[in-house]
């Protein structure tokens, strides 16, 4: 059964790391006798220049039609106002395609430096469609507004439906891993919104009796990740808390350049690196493509599990092993990991390891 992936390069280092991800996924397709096809489309500044918007409607429609999407990093903070075509492509794709679960592993590599000297292996499951994010909290218009020139207000949206489905995702993932779930909140201050989130978490506990359950305040959680991140397995939380904690956990694991991420819904999924577009590195063959390669492997696994296609799942696991092997070798590590390999050299090393598995 064929697989069609829509590849959206994005801005900055996006074209370079997208080329790396396609090379590795293409090698996996050959190695495991899959039929993976790539479609390309423009988003970001390239699309803005050509058609006047950073996310053309035709790209969004195509994203709904394919089996999965790979999204390169975007420089949305540098875009013009929305009225001038500067929408955030990743935010709009998440909202329009209902990609409600942002799944972000933070796992140490043996060959990568670890700032705190500790190995960790955890997953943060972040709600992706509401919360404090201004482009996801209102049906019409943004969730931020200014009643006068000196006052800015922001609305936070937390619904029972979105809370329940992201919590169910967390419970299911924990049941398939080390059977421990940590629910992160700030219900001592956000009594109604995080209170609702906690109500749903507690109501689901009985359905997963094998999963050890705990709750942590978000500020305590930030401290505990520094003190002893190895004690955690799956962490589930609301949008903004998950965004912040996942970056922290990824840095503890070895850096954002290693941090894979999958945006998943009931019908669609999109692979996306955790890090930004790093325009200061663009075009210099210096970017570490591990994050987008790992995200692409997560996408292959998601498709494989939905189709009960063992070949796709094996291909995803093989990509992860090949990446780890390339990082283990000092000669093929990128500069951010203390090596000297460029983006292309690292990618070639991953492909060689993949072919030898």
What's the CA gap between 331 and 348, in Å, rounded? 12
**Is the CB of residue 167 less than 8 Å from the CB of residue 235?**
no
Task: Tell me, yes or no, if 157 is annotated catalytic.
Answer: no
CA distances from 42 to 53, 70, 89, 244, 337 (A): 10, 12, 11, 28, 30
The DSSP string of 134-179 is: TTSS-SSS-SEEEEETTEEEE--B--HHHHHHHHHHHHHHHHHTTS
Strand 262-264 with 101-107, pairing = antiparallel
Task: Tell me, yes or no, if 37 is annotated catalytic.
Answer: no
The residues, ordered by sequence, that sit 6+ positions from 311 with a Cβ below 8 Å of its Cβ are 32, 33, 34, 304
Task: Tell me, yes or no, if 110 is annotated catalytic.
Answer: no
| Catalytic one of 40, 110, 219, 228 | 219
| Catalytic one of 121, 247, 309, 345 | 247
Task: Tell me, yes or no, if 208 is annotated catalytic.
Answer: no
CB atoms within 10 A of CB 280: 9
| Catalytic one of 11, 194, 233, 243 | 243
Task: Tell me, yes or no, if 100 is annotated catalytic.
Answer: no
Taking alpha carbons only, the member of 261, 293, 272, 257 closest to residue 74 is: 272
| Catalytic one of 67, 100, 107, 133 | 133
| Catalytic one of 22, 107, 157, 186 | 186
Question: Which residues have a catalytic role annotated?
Answer: 133, 186, 219, 243, 247
């Amino acid at each position: 059964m064929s697989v069609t992936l829509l590849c959206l390069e994005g801005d900055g280092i996006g074209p370079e790391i997208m080329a790396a991800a396609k090379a590795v996924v293409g090698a996996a397709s050959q190695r495991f006798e899959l039929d993976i096809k790539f479609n390309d489309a423009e988003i970001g500044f390239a699309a803005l220049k050509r058609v006047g918007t950073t996310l053309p409607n035709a790209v969004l429609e195509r994203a709904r039609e394919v089996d999965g999407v790979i999204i390169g990093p975007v420089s949305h903070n540098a875009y013009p106002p929305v009225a001038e075509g500067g929408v955030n492509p990743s935010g709009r794709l998440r909202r329009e395609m209902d990609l409600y679960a942002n799944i972000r592993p933070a796992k140490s590599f043996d060959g990568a430096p670890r700032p705190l000297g500790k190995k960790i292996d955890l997953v943060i499951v972040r709600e992706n469609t509401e919360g404090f994010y201004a482009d996801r909290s209102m049906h019409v218009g943004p969730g931020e507004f200014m009643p006068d020139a000196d006052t800015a207000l922001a609305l936070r949206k937390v619904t029972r439906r979105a809370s329940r489905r992201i919590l169910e995702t967390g419970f299911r993932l924990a049941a398939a891993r080390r059977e421990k779930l940590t629910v992160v909140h700030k219900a001592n201050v956000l009594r109604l919104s995080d209170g609702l989130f906690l109500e749903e978490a507690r109501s689901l506990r009985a359905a997963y009796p094998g999963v050890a359950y705990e709750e942590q305040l978000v500020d305590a959680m930030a401290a505990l990740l520094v003190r002893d991140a190895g004690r955690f397995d799956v962490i589930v939380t609301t949008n903004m808390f998950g965004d912040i904690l996942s970056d922290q956990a990824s840095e503890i694991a070895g850096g954002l350049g290693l941090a894979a991420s999958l945006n998943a819904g009931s019908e669609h999924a999109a692979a996306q690196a955790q890090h930004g577009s790093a325009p200061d590195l663009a075009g210099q063959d210096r970017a570490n493509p591990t994050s987008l390669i790992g995200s692409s492997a997560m996408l292959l696994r998601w498709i494989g599990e939905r189709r009960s296609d063992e070949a796709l799942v094996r291909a995803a696991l093989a990509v992860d092993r090949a990446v780890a092997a390339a990082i283990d070798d000092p000669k093929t590590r990128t500069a951010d990991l203390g090596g000297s390999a460029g983006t292309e050299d690292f990618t070639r090393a991953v492909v060689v390891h993949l072919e030898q598995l």
